[in-house]
């Protein structure tokens, strides 16, 4: 078996890029969201500037229309966060704004789950809308003279929406007939995009693994007030979830990365959070073993051009 410090075996990028292209689909997740912050009017900004003896042109000021800590509003934003986290957890980055790559085998499951989120969002917005009058009344008290009823719609229905689609990233077939040369140029552009997507995937995996391993090592090392540092179960669970996601989405483009993940997984396999809390020798053992993984990750994360994180033979 090769050492982690050895250069990875030669593996052309065309193979993993083509694998992405034939097994993945592009997906875009988007939101319509009622803006709860609004800039002050020129007159309001001038009044605020006067209070500080400042010039209005040098002041940037805004107001929050509703209390974002309200449970009914937080329920709405929670669904957006859940949808985004779910989408990112099952996808890889793609070098087109707003697009990510999902496995074609997951299309139906993701589509169904997004439909579930959409229904939950609709119900949460209905609850928020029923409470909207109370939120506006509270805002009137908090904002004082800054309150303006014209800032608020009559209803929130339709102002919070979740949508998704699956745009094609392949060159349009009609170009082949209309202009073979344009089609060739588009095909080359798409090929380059998938080559770049491989690098983005590697970069994302390395950065996430580095963050998770470093956080676990930091929690297991040293002490606070003479006692071992407290850490939550999620510190270990998040690493386990990473291994599962890596196994599912790995583009198998860099054997050094594959071996790093395998080594990290081997270190924590069968170790649960309570065991780490109860056993100082076990904590020291895990930290010592993770230090080797961290050392290689640090070498991969040195300051170098973006999207060129992992060393790959030319």
Dist. CA 187–CA 193, nearest whole Å = 10
Residue pointed to by tokens 């496995």: 103
Nearest to 250 by CA among 202, 179, 311, 306: 202
Handedness of CA 164, 170, 174, 175 (dihedral sign): positive
pLDDT at residue 175 in the model: 93
Query: Which residue has tokens 């080594």?
Result: 263
pLDDT tens for the chain, 314 residues: list them: 344 444 444 445 568 999 999 999 999 999 999 999 988 878 877 777 777 777 777 777 788 999 999 999 999 999 999 999 999 999 999 999 999 999 999 999 999 999 999 999 999 999 999 999 999 999 999 999 899 999 999 999 999 999 999 999 999 999 999 999 999 999 999 999 999 999 999 999 999 999 999 999 988 886 666 677 777 888 899 999 999 999 999 988 888 899 999 999 999 998 888 888 888 889 889 999 999 999 998 888 754 445 444 444 33
Query: What pLDDT, on a 0 to 100 scale, did the predictor assign at position 57?
Result: 75
Q: What pLDDT, on a 0 to 100 scale, did the predictor assign at position 41?
A: 79
Strands 99-103 and 160-165: unpaired
Query: pLDDT value at position 108?
Result: 97
CB 204 within 8 A of CB 92: yes
pTM of the predicted structure, to 2 decimals? 0.83
**DSSP-assigned beta bridge partners for residue 27:** 100
Q: Phi, psi at residue 61, to the nearest 5°?
A: -145, 150
Residue 271: φ, ψ to 5°: -100, 125
Instruction: Give, as one character, the DSSP assignment of residue 97.
Output: T
Check residue 207 and give its pLDDT. Answer: 93
The DSSP annotation for 33-70 comes to E---EEEPPHHHHHHHHHHHT--GGG---EEESS-TTS
Residue 78 has a pLDDT of 98
Q: What's the pLDDT score for residue 1?
A: 39
pLDDT digits (tens, 9 = 90+) for 4-29: 444 444 445 568 999 999 999 999 99
Burial class of 24 by CB neighbour count within 10 A (0 to 12, 13 to 18, 19+): buried
pLDDT tens per residue, range 112-131: 999 999 999 999 999 999 99
């Amino acid at each position: 078996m090769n050492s982690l410090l050895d250069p990875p075996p030669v593996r052309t990028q065309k193979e993993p890029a083509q694998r992405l292209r034939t097994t993945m689909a592009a997906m875009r997740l988007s939101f319509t969201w009622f803006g709860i912050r609004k800039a002050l009017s020129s007159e309001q900004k001038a009044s605020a500037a006067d209070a500080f003896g400042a010039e209005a042109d040098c002041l940037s000021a805004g107001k929050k229309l509703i209390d974002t800590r309200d449970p009914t509003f937080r329920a709405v934003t929670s669904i957006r966060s859940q949808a985004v986290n779910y989408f990112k957890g099952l996808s890889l980055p793609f070098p087109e704004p707003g697009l990510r790559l999902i496995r074609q085998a997951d299309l139906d499951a993701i589509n169904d789950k997004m439909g579930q989120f959409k229904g939950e969002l609709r119900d949460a917005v209905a609850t928020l809308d029923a409470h909207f009058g109370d939120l506006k009344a509270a805002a009137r008290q908090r904002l004082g003279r800054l309150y303006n009823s014209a800032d608020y719609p009559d209803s929130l229905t339709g102002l919070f929406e979740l949508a998704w689609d699956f745009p094609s990233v392949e060159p349009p077939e009609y170009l082949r007939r209309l202009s073979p040369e344009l089609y060739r140029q588009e095909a080359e552009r798409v090929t380059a995009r998938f080559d770049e997507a491989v690098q983005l995937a590697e970069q994302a995996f390395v950065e996430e693994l580095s963050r998770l391993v470093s956080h676990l090592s930091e929690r297991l090392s040293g002490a606070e007030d003479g006692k071992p540092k407290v850490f939550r179960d999620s510190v270990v669970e998040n690493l386990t979830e990473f291994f599962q996601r890596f196994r599912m989405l790995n583009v198998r483009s860099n054997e050094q990365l594959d071996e790093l993940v395998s080594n990290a997984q081997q270190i924590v396999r069968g170790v649960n959070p309570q065991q780490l809390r109860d056993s100082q020798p076990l904590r020291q053992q895990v930290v010592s073993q993770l230090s080797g993984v961290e050392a290689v990750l640090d070498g991969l994360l040195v300051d170098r051009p973006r999207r060129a994180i992992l060393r790959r033979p030319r």
